[in-house]
Amino acid sequence: MSVRRAGAPALAAAVVIATVILAAAIALVPRDARKQSLAEARAAGSGPAPGADTAGISSAGPDNDRRLRRVLRRSLREAGGASGAWVVNATRRRELFGRHERVRRSLGSNAKLFTAAVALRRLGPQAKLATTVVGRPSRLRDATLHGDLHLRGGGDPTLDGAALARLARELADGRGIKRVTGRIVGDGRAFDSRRGTAATDYGTSSEIGSLSALGMRGVVSLDPAVHAAARLDDALEDEGVRVDGAPAAGDAPTGRVVLAAVRSPRVSELVRRILKSSTNFHAEMLAKAIARKRGRVGSTRRALREVSTFARRLGSSPDLADGAGLSLDSRASPRSVGKLLLAMRTLPEFDAFHAALPIAGRDGTLRRRMRGGRAQGRCRAKTGTRVDVSALSGYCRAASGDTIVFSLLFNRVEPARAKRFEDRMVAAIARLG
């Protein structure tokens, strides 16, 4: 009994000494190391301290990447059809996901990404397209112009009745013309004679309109040059100017002087309308204007060669049949689209290109999509929709602050259903931390 009583104080003393030694050892560990050990313990399963705020905290990159890949794989599998995707962290130059990313798919309006990029590069964001009236001032005597006035088109896709009315006022008030003894002759020779694209068998259509250097917005006409000339004739009559001859089409002779002019908005604004609102007429008109830049007749065929050459220099390889993507034969792989988007970030025209893309949940063709989620306001992308085709390609500013480039191309699917998967996939991209 006496041995047991003597051992108890000794045991208590040993515990006290051990506690003191342990406390001293902990004090010698640097504070950052203690925090790191605590974080590792929590990650291992002990969890955060009660009441800790964990909202918005993401796990390390690799775990985040794995979660993203799971969402993307599941979405592509459930969507079915012939689909592919490519996702890249542009900030860190790291591929995050690829599935059938090298297989070409029908693009729908994602083809407009290529047209818009080349228009900005070749024409320049500040360029404008002019529509002019030319004639001979030497034949203007006593407010009468003897001979014809030629309305020369420059491929302005915004040309409308209001623009022609401005031309008429300039001729009447600025030039003092009260009578034209000849005709108003429309000159649309800056573009070729094909009024449509491969998707419309090169004829006019309600989806595109009438492609011509004198094509007017919202007008379908078999002879756009005569139609525009007739509208200018009417506008001149409204200004009190009498035109003796009937409107006609023809080439303006050389040596004529510009008597009046109107200009389109800047190319950057035209590209904005092409990408935000997915305007087919603007896309095809601007495609022909790209070909015209070289001093040759503007044609879709020449424009597509320009686009292909430009894309190849950026490491992309689309196979386009038109500038707007109405043709199902306009195809590219998700990787090719992504390569274009990546390369555009290195060019001086990128700001205009990026600003022209629809913003998720805010404007353009994405204004009603992805509202209230992580992608709203953080992602900009071009939509694409045709029969059995849906596409979405663009940029996201992820939760981490990194820029993510993505291209999601769905073929042989029901478009409305595919768009739900696109929204889910882009939300997962935006959540990357």
Q: How many CB atoms lie within 10 A of CB 143?
A: 12
pLDDT at 62: 67
Q: Could you tell me where the DSSP H helices lie in 198-244? A: 224-238
**Residue located via tokens 């009603």:** 368
Cα four-point dihedral sign 420, 422, 423, 428: positive
| Residue recorded with tokens 């051990």 | 18
- Determine the Cα–Cα distance for residues 189 and 168; give it in Å rounded to an integer: 22
List, in order of start, the domains of the chain with CATH numbers. Answer: 61-125+268-284+296-430 (3.40.710.10), 130-264 (3.50.80.20)
Pairwise CA distance, residues 37 & 186, whole Å: 80
Q: How far apart are the first and last CA of the chain?
A: 66
Mean pLDDT per 10-residue run, the chain (433 residues)? 41 41 39 34 31 30 82 92 94 95 97 98 97 95 97 98 98 97 97 94 93 96 97 98 98 94 98 98 97 87 93 95 96 98 98 98 97 96 97 97 98 95 97 88
Strands of 140-141's sheet in order across: 140-141, 144-145, 179-180, 242-243
DSSP 50: T
What per-residue confidence (pLDDT) applies to 293? 83
- d(C-alpha 180, C-alpha 244), whole Å: 6
